[in-house]
Structure 1
């Protein structure tokens, strides 16, 4: 159950932080965010807080933040249509689109003119006279029993500057890099990070060091009369002495003593290498942990970019890629190996999600950023219908690619 729960928590956290990045910076720009969803498909659970509905959906294949203006409004009111209105302080706060008999408190009018985008007004004939009402900028429309908040132009995605929109889009991938850094930081503070000090770390059971009664935390002063200043000095001497007796001068509790031991000889790529069964010393201090998290985030990012380059150049084939099934399997294996491995694996996945989303491909955040760059260069936005079509085709291609990779995963792991 721990492994299964780990898979759910890992993927939930990756998607949650990604979409949270979009949500936070979209709201900071003043964009109306209608929905924050984890998963796709039918709703399993939802609640509303403020202007946003938070939803858990059935299919665990991603998530989204639905911003006003990104999609066509689903409810339209045309001149000549009968609607119901409810006023507070001489402003319309509720617009009843249908099922008018269910709202006897509403004033029924026949719309002559309506502008819920910029001027926020409705004109209609009432008792033979033309009346004009101002609409509250947070008015609700009621259609088929569902309430939908109107989105004036200044609350829509398209009304914001290129910089504000780009920030809201880039914030998703950026949140994944931040999450990876946090996970690595937690791992380092909890389990320690390797240091180069001349101390012994964890002692392997049954190894030469345990048989010689060495202990974790022992300080190594000399090995075979050679002074050592770092852990790397110890590794160099031991690795070059396979199957040989070495004499260690140890300091423990401010006392010094001599310990002889014979190294094990291991074959590494056809070469004999000495080992004594000791892990490097670790520290749980904040400074080294901070450095470790930053350096490791950078290293993982570099490796993933190199892997993408090898895929583009053909050095890595599509058959070697893993989709959802493969990632679930590897996450299960990481959970079996312990929390430290799971934290590091989760950080890798988070960085990978951030980088993949920044690729300049339609339907991904990187593709949307490309269109914003074009808008900045041209001085005007690309036709929304053309951009929407490009993203739709890109999404269809990505879904097809995921199906192909998933089939490869199924064959690799189950056949």
Structure 2
């Protein structure tokens, strides 16, 4: 029977997960904004009504708000947390005050300020992975087939023990762990596997096994498998530079899998039931916390990458939407009209709220006994 952490552990895990990640994201915006000379009027963890806060000597209101599902930095000259310009307020500012507003900053500075949030989340994940790599080393395992699983589509396709996998769908394989990122996201898909068999090059088509994996908490994930394991493996220690370089590759690999996952949901290759929202995140955070701090911190790195990925989507009201506007401004050499921006932000906000409602309902359904299939 699946083990379920207590409600208290789940709540504590969710707070310990989301709170720091939101602060880290918003601090990215805040510090780059300060570096660019833009005044921050408010730094909020959460949305809605302020629960408590204080104003620092620079005039920034630091506050905790009632709805703990994100946060924002509101810069001078903004109408609201989506950074829509407040033209009425802007018109009454002195020249010195205008110089401190977000919208008076040059395009390259606004781009840096907006991009700083998600990229700080990515940097945070890289630092966690680098610390793990430095502490535990990395798996060194040549991509040579050593064993087959009971269900092994690779064996059925003609791959043999001792074959060296050199590429999958044209992407070169250096180590056995590289195979994971090229196989796991594609359950049921047929991939092209290039192998070296005693100096002879072969290319075989392998239909990946669609395997449903269940953890001790009863969570299911549908993954692709070749049904092979390595001939040998060892743990190699890493220096600081190697640890950071590997952490960067690990972070990029997860980002790539997130992109693939969204593409598969859009094309119908994966079910929308695999989308998760705040309730499922809270559930997972409690589960990982119950497994210990190493599991929880590793999960925090994964969620930090998720937050960066979501915020970089080109949806108005998200950071990626702002960056898309700035790209258009750079091409047109002038910003989009206020009416167009206002319409886009309203549409984007409606889409984000609808998506949040959908994934929350999705979470609730998945937690019901009938939702688990």
Q: Give a deviation string over 1:153-196, Cα, whole Å, max 9, x none.
A: 21111111111111111111111110111121233344x13343
Shift of 1:73: 5.7
In the alignment, is the contact (CA less than 8 A) between 1:193 and 1:288 conserved in 2?
A: no
Q: How far apart, CA to CA, are the structure 2 residues paired with 1:332 and 1:364?
A: 27
- Higher relative contact order (Cα pairs below 8 Å, separated by 6+ residues): 2
In the alignment, is the contact (CA less than 8 A) between 1:22 and 1:168 conserved in 2?
A: yes
**Runs of 5+ unmatched residues, structure 2:** 1-7, 80-84, 151-210, 212-224
In the alignment, is the contact (CA less than 8 A) between 2:277 and 2:363 conserved in 1?
A: yes
Q: Look up the SS of the partner of 1:326 in the other structure.
A: helix
Shift of 1:305: 1.4
Shift of 1:348: 1.2
Partner of residue 39, structure 1: 46
Q: How far apart, CA to CA, are the structure 2 residues paired with 1:307 and 1:64?
A: 27
- Number of aligned residue pairs: 283
Q: Give a deviation string over 1:323-371, Cα, whole Å, max 9, x none.
A: 1111111122222222222222111111111111111111111111111
Confirm or deny that 1:399 pairs with 2:353.
yes
Confirm or deny that 1:365 pairs with 2:316.
no
Partner of residue 329, structure 1: 283
Partner of residue 153, structure 2: none
Q: How far apart, CA to CA, are the structure 2 residues paired with 1:159 and 1:346?
A: 36
Taking structure 2 as the reference length, the TM-score comes to 0.67
Structure 1 segment 5-404 matched on structure 2, within 5 A = 5-49=12-56, 50-71=58-79, 116-118=92-94, 137=96, 152-190=97-135, 192-196=136-140, 239=147, 280-281=234-235, 283=237, 285-404=239-358
Flag the 1:291–1:328 CA change in 2: closer, same or farther, 3 A.
Answer: same
Q: How far apart, CA to CA, are the structure 1 residues paired with 2:101 and 2:295?
A: 43
In the alignment, is the contact (CA less than 8 A) between 2:142 and 2:230 conserved in 1?
A: no
Q: How far apart, CA to CA, are the structure 1 residues paired with 2:247 and 2:278?
A: 26
Q: Look up the SS of the partner of 1:372 in the other structure.
A: helix
**Runs of 5+ unmatched residues, structure 1:** 78-114, 120-136, 138-151, 197-230, 243-267
Higher helix share: 2
Q: How far apart, CA to CA, are the structure 2 residues paired with 1:273 and 1:165?
A: 48
Q: How far apart, CA to CA, are the structure 1 residues paired with 2:53 and 2:266?
A: 41
Higher strand share: 1
In the alignment, is the contact (CA less than 8 A) between 1:39 and 1:56 conserved in 2?
A: yes
